[in-house]
Amino acid sequence: MKPSKLEEAVALTQKFTSKPSTEELLKLYGLYKQATEGDNEAERPGGFDFKAAAKYNSWLAFKGKSKAEAAEEYMGLVEKLAEKYI
């Protein structure tokens, strides 16, 4: 079975030769979660788990965006980052 364009974009991120910034990584995470799961309905993580809170907030920032829109935005961001990190 042929991988979807979203799966291909995820695979492309594995080829990055250097690590994107924290801000870029969080945006990728939020868009990916929105594209694959839709709106964030999870419970907010505890106060001292800063990494989990940042990821939660990044996903929450895309609330209301359709899965298709989020997938398109994710793929566009991966292409842009690929120029910088491959």
Judging by beta carbons within 10 Å of its beta carbon (0-12, 13-18, 19+), is residue 9 exposed, middle or buried? buried
Count the domains in the chain: 1
What is the domain-level CATH number for residue 74? Answer: 1.20.80.10
Domain carrying residue 73: 5-85
What is the Cα–Cα distance from 63 to 56, expressed in whole angstroms?
A: 11
Q: What is the pLDDT along the chain (86 residues), one digit of tens a residue?
A: 778 999 999 999 999 999 999 999 999 999 999 999 999 999 999 879 999 999 999 999 999 999 999 999 999 999 999 999 99
